[in-house]
Amino acid sequence: MKLVTLGLGYIGLPTSIMFAKHGVDVLGIDVQQKVVDSLNQGKIHIEEPGLQEALEEVMASGKFKASTAPEKGDVFIIAVPTPNRDDQYKSVDLKYVLSAVEMIIPYLETNNTVIVESTIAPRTTDDHVKPLLEKAGFTIGEDLFLVHCPERVLPGQIMHELIHNNRIIGGVTEACKEAGKKVYGTFVQGELILTDAKTAEMSKLMENTYRDVNIALANELVKVCTKLGINALDVIQMANKHPRVNLHSPGPGVGGHCLAVDPYFIVAEAPDQAKLIYQARDINVSMPSFVVEHTAKLLNGLEGKKITVFGLTYKGNVDDIRESPAMDIYGMLKASGAGEVVAYDPHVNLEWVEQDMEKAVKDSSLVLILTDHNEFKEFNGSEFAGMATKQIFDTKNIVKQSPSDVTYINFGNLYD
């Protein structure tokens, strides 16, 4: 089997490499020449445990190569970004998906399978992708097979989850479902669940929406408890002792290219019905302001103070700063008149991000933890010796034991 993948980002690259590891000849396509060059030189351009080693393995076996131009193949997988548009309900922008389809059309042959893995709004496969392929002369389910198989792997655990998660295979026809099953049967050990394309699209969106709505509930609880003088983190711990309750963890907001994006795809298609989903997004979007407001309170005003932000990525132990609430908070603090705002993140390799923890905290009045990197879980206290006032505001509740001479604040002991 020869596989052509379109998009070599956080999903397309691990997926391509996984197929190559299981004997498939893979040609990975990306529009960015520098990504293609780096991969062909055996270097990954994203951070994901196990991925670098896996790339080296498939380069050595000759099963994977990258290019900017597609070729003919048996299976085409589209894993390109689907950002929000800038409209009222932030609907899905299909431009990359549709241009990927246009790009492969000249290479498609009878009996090929086209799979969209990118997250798309409900009905996109039937209403947008299928017509393009039909216009090119194919009859879906007869001489070309079309499938939506949403990716559902967790960044940080992608290599494990690609193999062990179950997969929803949304075929446009029965024959399409079977074609999709054959492709993922190459390496997936989880269940291969066959359904139609629109059910697959909606299921994927609801998984992330479920999580977003539950996080919003936890974040709202923090706001309520802050007003009422109750420890929200204790409440979550108590309530979760109930066998049917699973309150999520509150935090400085919800980021990444999934939870902060996908719920809008549902809202945009049915705004009058999807009210709770929209409200949950609003609550999560409000969290950076809540954090900045309480940072100012803890410091009796931000003017002239140095604040050190620990963590810029959207979650711990990844290098991804897309839709990161930590980036919003960093920007808001900088715009707020604080004396100096320094960002320290050992996972983010950008010129303006400090890599030396001691330098980052020197003369600082507050360490503001925004990301749950492993590096921020344990401190012996000496790290904070140079601070002007030794204070930590831990919005992720991750510090295991705060050093005794440091004032430690989290979402459990914030009061209005």
Binding site for ligand SAJ (CB under 6 A): 119, 151-155, 207-208, 211, 215, 248-249, 251, 254-256, 258-259, 314-315
Closest distance to ligand SAJ from the beta carbon of 251 (Å): 3
Cβ-count burial of 128 within 10 angstroms (0-12 exposed, 13-18 middle, 19+ buried)?
A: middle
408 strand-pairing partners: 392
Nearest alpha carbon to residue 78 among 58, 95, 57: 95
Closest distance to ligand SAJ from the beta carbon of 97 (Å): 15
Closest distance to ligand SAJ from the beta carbon of 7 (Å): 13
Which C-beta is closer to ligand SAJ: that of 112 or that of 165?
A: 165
User: Are the CB atoms for 21 and 54 separated by under 8 Å?
Assistant: yes
Closest distance to ligand SAJ from the beta carbon of 59 (Å): 26
Which C-beta is closer to ligand SAJ: that of 315 or that of 373?
A: 315
CA contacts within 13 A on the Cβ side of 206: 9
Q: State how far the Cα of 61 lies from the Cα of 24, in Å rounded to an integer.
A: 11
Which C-beta is closer to ligand SAJ: that of 216 or that of 341?
A: 216
Nearest alpha carbon to residue 117 among 105, 135, 129, 102: 129
Closest distance to ligand SAJ from the beta carbon of 415 (Å): 21
Q: State how far the Cα of 95 lies from the Cα of 384, in Å rounded to an integer.
A: 48
Collapsed DSSP state (helix, strand, coil) of residue 142: coil
- Catalytic residue chosen out of the listed positions 258, 305, 390, 396: 258
- Which residues have a Cβ under 8 Å from the Cβ of 313 and sit 6 or more positions away? 319, 320, 321, 324, 326, 345, 347, 348, 371, 373
Which C-beta is closer to ligand SAJ: that of 21 or that of 167?
A: 167
- Which residues have a Cβ under 8 Å from the Cβ of 373 and sit 6 or more positions away? 310, 311, 313, 316, 317, 345, 346, 347
Closest distance to ligand SAJ from the beta carbon of 166 (Å): 12
Nearest alpha carbon to residue 113 among 189, 62, 64, 169: 169
Which C-beta is closer to ligand SAJ: that of 64 or that of 314?
A: 314
Which C-beta is closer to ligand SAJ: that of 128 or that of 211?
A: 211
Q: 27 φ, ψ to 5°? A: -110, 115
User: Are the CB atoms for 232 and 250 separated by under 8 Å?
Assistant: yes
Closest distance to ligand SAJ from the beta carbon of 401 (Å): 22
Q: At what angle do helices 197-228 and 262-269 cross, to 10 degrees?
A: 110
Is 258 labeled as catalytic in the residue annotation?
yes
- Catalytic residue chosen out of the listed positions 90, 181, 204, 396: 204
State which residue has the least CB distance to ligand SAJ. Answer: 258
Is 204 labeled as catalytic in the residue annotation?
yes
Which C-beta is closer to ligand SAJ: that of 199 or that of 249?
A: 249
Q: State how far the Cα of 380 lies from the Cα of 365, in Å rounded to an integer.
A: 18
25 strand-pairing partners: 2
Q: State how far the Cα of 117 lies from the Cα of 271, in Å rounded to an integer.
A: 25
What are the catalytic residues?
Answer: 204, 258
